[in-house]
Structure 1
Amino acid sequence: MRDEPLFLFDVDNTLFDNDRMNRDLDARLRRALGEEAVRRYRQAYERRRDACGYADYLGSLQDLREPGVNDAQLVEVSTFLMEYPFADGVFPGAMDALARARNAIILSDGDVVFQPHKIRGAGLWDAVDGRVLIHVHKEKMLQQVASAHPAPHYVMVDDKLGLLAAIKRAWGDRVTTVFVRQGHYAMDDAANASHPPANITLDHISQFADADILERASQRRARDD
């Protein structure tokens, strides 16, 4: 066990602009198959997310398939998705945040095909030396995370206030929660009003390096001890 906090970083809308990728995907789908296809895709996307607990981008495309009718157009869209310039979607300051944290891993929700592909393509995988965990519901995997990566204190950095609240309930003083107000979940004030505030709130991940979070987390650990 290292004698410093372990930083757990979410990916989508925390380190990577996932909302932008979704807008780009909708635009490509619209050009290939029209507005109705976008509507049907998003319906399939929501249906699969409710059923699986994570975003299934590729499976949702499969749901649009009409053999002999739209195969070529869907291949065009799937190729766009797999070849997306993920590195361009990394938020300014995200790499600096990982470097500043030093002892960091990525803890992400997602499927086991597209999500690791995205993380690798964005350069985030290499930035944490391959220390990447991908679960369906990461807030339910905390015991496994702690067993695999023991640390005297944890810092969870995420754009979902509800998830941070769940982790805080589970880990209590073992964790410092950092809420990054980026993306549509973070900006949903009505939904977030039902959750307690995080220990630290940032308007953008670029503020991480200048927020002395390592020092603040260490101070919290010292008080808790």
Structure 2
Amino acid sequence: MDKGIILFDIDKTIFDTDKMVKAFDGKMMSILGVSDFDYLKQAKEEYKKSLANERYFVPESFCETLCERFNFDNQEALTDVFYGRNHAYIYKESVFPETYIVLDKLKDRFRFGIFSEGTAKFQNNKFRSMGLNKYFDENLIFIVEAKDTKEVIKKIPKSAVVVDDKESICELLVKNKIKTVWLNKTDSRVNPNFETIHSLL
């Protein structure tokens, strides 16, 4: 019997983005010699305001902003936090524990893929560093700049089920006749137009 297909979003779905960000903040504060988080927080907010959407976050330009803000001349040391091998463990440690449980439970019945948006270099490095490659089918990795385009939606196999934490993305997929599961960890709401779960387990 052919296996089904499940495509997972990365951030806040199978991956604890908040945990990663907290770890990165600590590393960058140490490199910059900043002891008060509020200073870093202000710089982060300044950078975010320059983005049309959070999915356009680019580590290199963010680190450039930090260098300008703190008069720091070693941008490479900051970008290394995102891409360096010595910091790759942060990605692996930020995978939600339940992710492993679910993948092991379903791997005999489903092929797994990724449906994630963001800058290609950062998202691909994140995925490769998570240590989950053995579970995922290379032919089902869809890491795109933006999910909400017709060209991208056409790439999704019609038989796939997409699991995503963003209700707006789920609504878009359903309108395009793609089965979706909304992972709502924020509150108790459900959406009548597609399956809603509050935990991967």
TM-score, scaled to structure 1: 0.70
Cα deviation, residue 55, structure 1: 2.6
1:89 is the counterpart of 2:88: no
Point out where structure 2 has 5 or more consecutive residues left out of the alignment.
none
1:13 is the counterpart of 2:19: no
Q: In 2, Cα distance between the equivalents of 1:18 and 1:197?
A: 27
1:78 is the counterpart of 2:86: no
1:168 is the counterpart of 2:174: yes
- The letter of the residue matching 2:153 is L
Cα deviation, residue 121, structure 1: 0.6
- The letter of the residue matching 1:132 is I
Cα deviation, residue 104, structure 1: 1.8
1:104 is the counterpart of 2:112: yes
CA contact (8 A) 2:120 2:145 kept: no
Cα deviation, residue 107, structure 1: 0.9
- The letter of the residue matching 1:199 is F
Tell me which residue corresponds to 1:203.
198
Higher helix share: 1
- Deviation digits for residues 121-170 of structure 1, max 9, x if unmatched? 10133320433111112232111x13xxx44x221101111111111112
CA contact (8 A) 1:58 1:114 kept: no
- The letter of the residue matching 1:155 is V
Residue 65 of structure 1: SS of its match in structure 2?
helix
Give aligned-pair identity as a percent.
22
CA RMSD of aligned residues (A): 2.9
Deviating 4+ runs (over 4 angstroms): none
CA gap of 1:155–1:129, structure 2 versus 1, over 3 A, is closer
Tell me which residue corresponds to 1:43.
46
- Deviation digits for residues 21-60 of structure 1, max 9, x if unmatched? 1122233334433532331123213423x16843323321
- The letter of the residue matching 2:47 is A
Q: In 1, Cα distance between the equivalents of 2:165 and 2:53?
A: 22
CA gap of 1:29–1:68, structure 2 versus 1, over 3 A, is closer
Cα deviation, residue 118, structure 1: 0.8
Point out where structure 1 has 5 or more consecutive residues left out of the alignment.
208-225
Tell me which residue corresponds to 2:161.
155
CA gap of 1:5–1:111, structure 2 versus 1, over 3 A, is same
Tell me which residue corresponds to 1:25.
24
Higher strand share: 2
State which of 116, 127, 132 in structure 1 corresponds to 2:135.
Answer: 127
Cα deviation, residue 109, structure 1: 0.4
Cα deviation, residue 199, structure 1: 2.7
